[in-house]
Amino acid sequence: MKNMVEIEIVLDEQYADPHVTIKTKTNTQQVENIICAIENVSNSDYPQVAANLDDKLMFVSQRDIVRIHTEGRKVLLQTEDETYTVRRTLTGLEEVLDCARFLRISQSEIINLYKVKCFDLNMAGTIGVEFDCGLKSWVSRSRVKQIKEMLAKSCISEV
């Protein structure tokens, strides 16, 4: 028996990015292949970022990136679990990162807006940003306007 895949497309304005739900009786190899195919298409639009971890080259999915920042002469890429080094400048990374998701918040940092838990302002007058994973950083006041614009047009569709 040939396993046919039924595809249903639902047009919904609240989804800025495609949201894929796979309904299946059991998780088979066919389902895994479908997931791979979808991820490959997604990654071709927003490529994974090459990064180094303990001298090993890894490819990090953009949706896993929490922040990218400079530390001395290094560019560090942080996910919720690991910190990688990247051999590109922040400006170079901005060209490949999804501009609807990533935002430069200072001279030395780019963040994934979808990983942000909240912003705050302390008595020192510094705007802080806290991520879902507990990491904290600060936002340059000169970048706030861009953050507000991105927040205004953002609609998260990822799971």
Partner 1 sequence: MELRNKFIINSLVGFILGMLVGIVIWMIPPVNSEGRSLIVHVIVSGIHGLIPCGAATVYEIESWGLTKQTVIHATVTLATILGIEIPMKWWEPEPEMLIALVAYVVIYAIIWLANYLYWKITVADMNKALDEIHSRKDEMNK
For the CA atoms of the chain, what is the radius of gyration? 18
CA distance 148 to 129: 13
135 binds partner 1 (CB under 8 A): no
Binding partner 1 (rule: CB under 8 A), the pick from 29, 44, 91, 122 is: 122
11 binds partner 1 (CB under 8 A): no
Question: Of the candidates 83, 109, 111, which has an alpha carbon nearest to the alpha carbon of residue 99?
Answer: 111
Nearer to partner 1, 97 or 129 (CB): 129
158 binds partner 1 (CB under 8 A): yes
10 binds partner 1 (CB under 8 A): no
Number of residues that bind partner 1 (CB under 8 A): 32
Residue type, 115: K
Q: How far is the CB of 56 from partner 1 (least distance, A)?
A: 32
Nearer to partner 1, 96 or 127 (CB): 127
Contact 150, 103 (CB under 8 A): yes
Helix, strand, coil percent values for the chain (each to nearest 5): 25, 30, 45
Tokens representing residue 104 in the block: 């430069």
Residues 14 to 33 in contact with partner 1, rule: CB under 8 A: 14-15, 19
Binding partner 1 (rule: CB under 8 A), the pick from 27, 28, 141, 146 is: 141
